[in-house]
Homo-oligomer: A and B are copies of this chain.
Amino acid sequence: MSKKQKRYFLSENDIPRYWYNIQADMKNKPLPPLNPQTKQPLKPEDLYPIFAKELCHQELNQTDTWIEIPEAVREMYKFYRSTPLVRAYGLEQALGTPAHIYFKNESVSPIGSHKLNSALAQAYYCKQEGVTNITTETGAGQWGAALAYAAKVFGLEAAVYQVKISYEQKPYRRSIMQTFGAQVTPSPSMSTRAGKDILTKYPNHQGSLGTAISEAVELARTTPNCKYTLGSVLSHVTLHQTVIGLEAEKQMEMAGEYPDIIIGCFGGGSNFGGICFPFMRHTILEGKQTRYIAAEPASCPKLTRGKFEYDYGDEAGYTPLLPMYTLGHNFAPANIHAGGLRYHGAGVIVSQLLKDKLMEAVDIQQLESFDAGILFAKSEGIIPAPESCHAIAAAIQEANKCKETGEEKVILFNLSGHGLIDMSAYDQYLSGNLMNYELSDAEIEKNLEEVDKI
């Protein structure tokens, strides 16, 4: 481990007052989400039954570049922000690369990940509109833990549907949600129509994010004063996460450098967009040459091997149709450890950006991701979340290229969370029980055929 580390913090006054809405600056706007029945473009009002109104408007807002962060949310950000921007001397040294590597450390939030940035905002708007109950789904539990926390902050009751296999195999995050007072139900459950339908057909179904979303959306639709919230994919979630990149922009300035390459791990796109979009603004408006790389797991490669199509966001088809890179809403990813990255589709903004070649994507195998995570832990002293390991692996790939070419590129990646609550995954890796997973083209095509029928 290097004995040197440089951390950059912002003063309280420099914590952003606005989120950045990249939709306003995009030349090719994302295609509109469609009402699944009428196939007509969605209006904000169509989303009112599910989400807080303000969030519905943020979702479809393609005109306002800056959205003010409510004072109460900003006060809560101050509990853990600014998060440090760190120059990773230890990792650079371990790799012997001339590249300068920086990471934004979102793991310092009280629940250990970036998810709180949007959970606080969503809970706040719900509370403002007189909502009393909020619901959501979660996989490994990072998002669920954030939402349980945010619900407690703003005095709401939270009900979380957790993917059953995670509920059983990773009880720590379930206990965190319960400690903050949330009701946690393993999904699929017999508590919803969607859950019953699946369990009747497949009694031993282990759950998926798509299924859990169906259950949570159904609960929101059928319960008075209850709204649904989501931890990634949607444009308003990514909007809230831009606080990461906005801080990073100022902190890189403090460091006297500007990133040539920016990397985020990729599930639905919110932490990736969160760190990239404020920088991408300069690419769109000023032609700044920066590469933006989404690092997704090879077992769930929607960006690198999926298809750009209108598809549902959930298994049961309750959500609007979204124009996105998808593996098909029935796609059941292999049981790998990148919990939060196992979603079948990408958000509509990142999908459009990828189509327009404003960003790139790379798929990372499971063993490479843990190799990267262990090297990072040993060189920087922080054990990264399995999700974040994908970003680290991609950063290492780029740093190794610099080693070959001798280029001193500046690489910035988002450390979306720590792995202290994911040690069972590390345990399996260290004991040699993990392997890579190859996904056949046939399997991908089979799922996408379903999408063509929509």
Contact = CB atoms under 8 A, between A and B. Distances in A.
A149 to B, nearest CB: 6
B382 A430 contact: no
A376 to B, nearest CB: 10
B423 A4 contact: no
A176 interface: yes
B374 A179 contact: yes
Contact of A179 (B79, B154, B173, B430): B430
B423 A180 contact: no
Nearest to A120: B3
Interface stretch (A70-78, A185-193, A332-340, A360-368): A70-78
Contact of A5 (B72, B79, B430): B79
A178 interface: yes
B110 A382 contact: yes
Given A79-B381, A178-B430, A421 B420 contact: yes
A308 interface: no
A171 interface: yes
A1 interface: yes
B7 A78 contact: yes
A269 interface: no
Contact of A112 (B175, B420, B426): B420
A437 B430 CA distance: 37
A451 interface: no
In the A-B complex, the 6 residue pairs with the closest CB atoms: A172-B423, A175-B423, A175-B427, A1-B153, A110-B381, A175-B426
Interface of A: 1, 3-5, 7, 72, 75-76, 78-79, 108, 110, 112, 149, 152-154, 171-176, 178-181, 374, 377-378, 381-383, 420-421, 423-424, 426-427, 430
29 contacts: A1-B152, A1-B153, A3-B75, A4-B75, A5-B78, A7-B79, A79-B381, A108-B108, A110-B382, A149-B381, A152-B381, A153-B381, A171-B423, A171-B427, A172-B172, A172-B421, A172-B423, A173-B423, A174-B427, A175-B424, A175-B430, A176-B383, A176-B420, A178-B430, A179-B374, A179-B423, A179-B426, A420-B421, A421-B421
